[in-house]
Amino acid sequence: MSLELVKVEMKVNGKNIYRNVAPSMRLADFLRDELHLIGTKKGCNAGECGTCSVLINGVLKKSCLIPVIKVNHCEVVTIEGIGIDGLSIIQKSFMKVGAVQCGYCTPGMIMAATAILKANRNPDRAEIRRGLGGNICRCTGYAKIIEAIELARDVLNQNKTPDCLEPAVPTDTSKIIGSCTERVDAKGKVTGALEYAADMVMPRMLHIHLIRSKEVHAEIVSIDYSRALEQPGVETVLTSDDVPGQDGIGVYYHDQPVLAKSKVRFYGEPVVAIVAETLDEAQAAAAFVEITYKKLPVVSSVAEAMAGKAVVHEDHPDNLVCSTTIVKGNVEEGFCKSHVIVEQDYATQCVEHAYLETEAGLAYLDPDGVLVVKSCDQDITHHRMLLSKILNMPINKVRVIMTPVGGGFGGKEDMIYQGILAIAALKTKRPVKLVFSREDSMVGSAKRHPVLIHHKIGLSKDGRIQAIEITMDADGGAYCLSTKGTVAKAAILGAGPYEIENVKVLSRGHYTNNTPSGAMRTFGVLQPTFAIESTMDICSERLGIDPIELRLRNAVKDGSLTHTQQVLGRVSYSRTLQECARLSSWESGPSWVRGSERKDVRRDQIATPYIPGSEFKALEALALCNSRFRYGRGVGTGWYGIGRCATVDKAGAFVEIDDGGTAMVLTGVTEIGEGILTVLTQIVADELGIYPEDVTIGDNDTARVPEAAHAGASRQSYMIGNAVMNACRDVKAKFIREIADYWNVDPSSIRMRNRRIYVEGHGHYDLPLAEAVDICKKIRGIVPLGAGTYTAHHEGLDQTTGKGNPWQAYVFGSQVAEVAVDTYTGEVHVLGIWAAHDVGRAINPRGVEGQIEGGAVQSVGQAIMENFELSGGVPSNKSFAKYILPTCVDVPEFHSTLVEERDPFSPLGAKGIGEPAPLPTVPAVINAIYDAVGVRITQLPATPEKILNAMAEQGFNVF
């Protein structure tokens, strides 16, 4: 093949560009590597996700698919070319309505929005959805993105004035908490200027290519990489022999080697790392590595693991990772007292996180010999500890810096590549970069646990639950990762937010040779929530009681005893159900098939079922399509414990009142799109009487900030928010004391508000905060610096009965879903979601709404389409082309309300929403499908094939 370069010339963002390029170079790589326009992202490199979207001669195109020579003499506009003279109306609209979360998809979304409004200045909602159909967002749930484009449309058409796009900041700093403050990181995301890990470069940087196993379970007989070392550009080759310290990574057990050692346990496990001057050279050298395997029997299911088909880990001969038991009362006595007993089996599937940013990082040695790792990471504190052991280095010689994270959802808690980066940097003494391809990410990262669930539940005639017995068996995959924690959490919460006297739960995790399972949003609770909420609807039908009424009769309330025998304080569960029923205008009735009779369906609060090509169909054809739909509604609820489960949780922070009356915050906060940076600025502004723009939050860097632990368990607002609040109160007290001494007044008389410090009612004692800081530093000789910590005293569980207090704060949520089922195809359209969630105290209501919407759409995916399929341990859909995700055309209309039941243990009062938000959606959708067509789906997802087959078995007549 000829390697001759080809001259291209084009106009990019209004500038003439001339370059000599390789004929095979893609436009996305040209823009990123040659022109350093990093706003054009690479989420899949296959034209499926839209993160690489640009305009070519005014037409929206996926730049990862287009050879750069095909745009010779063309005009290209990237995100950097939008709003060159200031933010565009579209960019401002995205910021205004909260259409930005992790930000990785945002540049591509804005390019698509620009193309939509360029083609039609007045698109309706259906046209906007179609126009965004080629762009994926995993965070927002699309609702805010649609809202942003509608707002931009209205401003462009002068139906709204441009000043409606300006940030709405309360003039009174005491009202900042509870306001919809604009995200502090939004500008960098809407302009494409924010650097993610894959965007970072360093001089003399090397690149890593991983050779992954194509075997599922096999001994590694030999590895010969001698010829690879002779290939152009190859600096070194790494295997497990290069690990200088303890070779083990994981969350609970360190059972996974950095690179496969002695045997491989799953398809895609990394075995060899090639380090070279360029990625192309590293990939080319892979052909010269010879690995000899001896195949072993494959354990491809929980049943095979329990049967002992083969041993996955020699120190777990029964393939049992862990188990948790919860026992309360006597279930046999409870069943004897029951009027109705229901038994049902459920199964949930393997689900991919599908964050748009794949795993990426960069490692190097600093001049003092400190090993620095920069990566998109959810838990830098834990990873630093692991790296210290792997590298056999003192922990203070290891530094981990969190880069901006383009979506995590739990999947970036696992340290599956940082060890490889660190070893390569140590061995080569040069900076080293590793970026996963989409296939790397899908075969190499953890998934949501598939779980088999068996229920036996007994109820009295009036619907009171007398006893419940649950068995859950989770497929943990090849390594433990977070299985121990998810199994425990499933056991603790698996029987639902119900007051039940007799409970017995057995939850187990098993090793198999499937892709490892790990942390994913809800951390093991979504699966049993789907099951218990489905069972509640089955019981509703058996007893002839409305499903919301049945839940209310059994609801936990103030002072209730949980399944672990913890006494609850204030409980908002019933309020969320009642608010949800009110919001959705729920029509009462038992859970039998009522869809055709209901008067609360097909109202104006729902989306229209998406019919491909509807804009081209005749009215008669559209009417025929619409006649095939059957409508139904379902309810689902959930509960969740905030923070680390059954163990002490903690966080720390420093706050300085800085020059100019500003504030600097240092804490180990992990922003993965949830908006925690904005929440913290609001807390600081409220406490110190300043505005969010006056607050600076330092980068999450183990060498610079105190420990605050990981992003997960919906703990950041609760744990870090309270630590920051306490630090603010500490520095505020010190600062006021100094100013009080200077003024010779009582410190208790001093207030800080609206960038001023003053004694109320005394105009003589009133200063701008900036002047007061100067007095404190220059006259008093004091740097106003405060420290704060917060501890949640969670208790471990009794090993036999599971008795204990695993959390001090619980949240509750309820949702109603409305669906339309196409009786010809079996396809399900989720048209409306009505949600009521307890969040404690809503620091930023718009951010909370975004979490509810994003979480619900993720659960819509799990309910009706997503399934990471494995056959004999080999994935069959390891790309976005085959792994089906919700897109903008799948989005329901959202209607949400917040229940604010402040946590009495928290000075801040806030709890959390990110993890609990998706819980009610899956059962609400599944119950709605039953309401529509009488098909009870017990094995997720509810695919068209399953629905049609079940309808056929029941003799469903579509005519």
| pLDDT tens column, 536-560 | 999 999 999 999 999 999 999 999 9
Q: What is the pLDDT of residue 85?
A: 82
Interval 289-309: pLDDT, tens: 999 999 999 999 999 999 999
Assigned CATH topology for domain 1-193: DNA polymerase; domain 1 (1.10.150)
Interval 344-356: pLDDT, tens: 999 999 999 999 9
Question: Is the four-CA dihedral 382, 387, 393, 396 of positive or negative sign?
Answer: negative
pTM of the model: 0.98
Q: Peptide bond preceding 875: is omega within 30 degrees of 0, i.e. cis?
A: no
What SS3 state is found at 644?
coil
pLDDT band of residue 83 (cuts 50, 70, 90) is confident
Those residues whose C-beta lies under 8 Å from the C-beta of residue 54, and which sit 6 or more positions away, are 27, 31, 40, 60, 61, 63, 76, 77, 78, 111
Can you list the positions of beta strands (E) in 22-103? 53-56, 59-62, 75-77
Interval 357-378: pLDDT, tens: 999 999 999 999 999 999 999 9
* Run of H or E residues at 401: strand 398-402
Q: What is the largest CA-CA distance in the chain?
A: 87
Calculate the average pLDDT of the chain: 97
Can you list the positions of beta strands (E) in 710-827? 750-753, 756-759, 762-768, 785-792, 810-822
Task: Check pLDDT > 90 for residue 958.
Answer: no
Average pLDDT value for residue range 777-793: 97
Interval 856-913: pLDDT, tens: 999 999 999 999 999 999 999 999 999 999 999 999 999 999 999 999 999 999 999 9
Of 845, 840, 842, 886, residue with least CA distance to 864: 886
Q: What is the pLDDT of residue 959?
A: 55
Q: ∠ at Cα 160 (154, 162), nearest 5°?
A: 100
Buried-exposed string 785-814: b where 16+ CB fall within 10 A, e elsewhere: bbebbbebebbebeeeebbbbbbbbbbbbb
Q: Do domains 327-346+456-567 and 649-792 have the same CATH topology?
A: yes
Residue identified by tokens 């060498």 is 703
Q: What is the pLDDT of residue 3?
A: 67
Interval 177-195: pLDDT, tens: 999 999 999 999 999 999 9
Of 598, 592, 665, residue with least CA distance to 935: 592
Q: What is the pLDDT of residue 350?
A: 98
Interval 412-458: pLDDT, tens: 999 999 999 999 999 999 999 999 999 999 999 999 999 999 999 99
Provide the token pair at 840: 């404690």
Q: Classify the phi-psi angles of 331: left when phi > 0, otherwise alpha if psi is within -120 to 50, otherwise beta.
A: alpha
Asked whether the beta carbons of 383 and 258 are under 8 A apart, the reply is no
Of 39, 33, 168, residue with least CA distance to 103: 39
Q: What is the pLDDT of residue 956?
A: 82
Question: Is the four-CA dihedral 795, 798, 804, 810 of positive or negative sign?
Answer: positive
Task: Check pLDDT > 50 for residue 1.
Answer: no
Interval 454-490: pLDDT, tens: 999 999 999 999 999 999 999 999 999 999 999 999 9
Of 564, 488, 494, residue with least CA distance to 527: 494
Whole-angstrom Cα distance, residue 830 to residue 823?
14
Among 3.30.365.10, 3.40.50.10490, 3.20.20.70, 3.30.2390.10, name the CATH number for the domain at 572-643+808-954: 3.30.365.10
* Run of H or E residues at 146: helix 143-156
Whole-angstrom Cα distance, residue 601 to residue 596?
9
pLDDT band of residue 84 (cuts 50, 70, 90) is confident
Residue identified by tokens 């943990």 is 476
Provide the token pair at 451: 């779980």
The residue ranges of every structural domain in the chain are 1-193, 200-296+356-407+412-444, 327-346+456-567, 572-643+808-954, 649-792
Asked whether the beta carbons of 199 and 361 are under 8 A apart, the reply is no
Provide the token pair at 596: 């055709």
Q: What is the pLDDT of residue 836?
A: 98
Whole-angstrom Cα distance, residue 363 to residue 345?
48
Residue identified by tokens 């762009």 is 135
Residue type, 448: R
Task: Check pLDDT > 60 for residue 2.
Answer: no
Rg (CA), the chain: 28
CATH architecture designation of domain 327-346+456-567: 2-Layer Sandwich (3.30)
Average pLDDT value for residue range 248-268: 98
Whole-angstrom Cα distance, residue 732 to residue 357?
39
Those residues whose C-beta lies under 8 Å from the C-beta of residue 765, and which sit 6 or more positions away, are 743, 745, 750, 758, 759
Tell me how far the alpha carbon of residue 312 is from its chain's centroid.
30
What SS3 state is found at 409?
coil
Q: What is the pLDDT of residue 110?
A: 98
CATH 3.30.365.10 fits 649-792, yes or no: yes
Class of the 200-296+356-407+412-444 domain? Answer: alpha beta
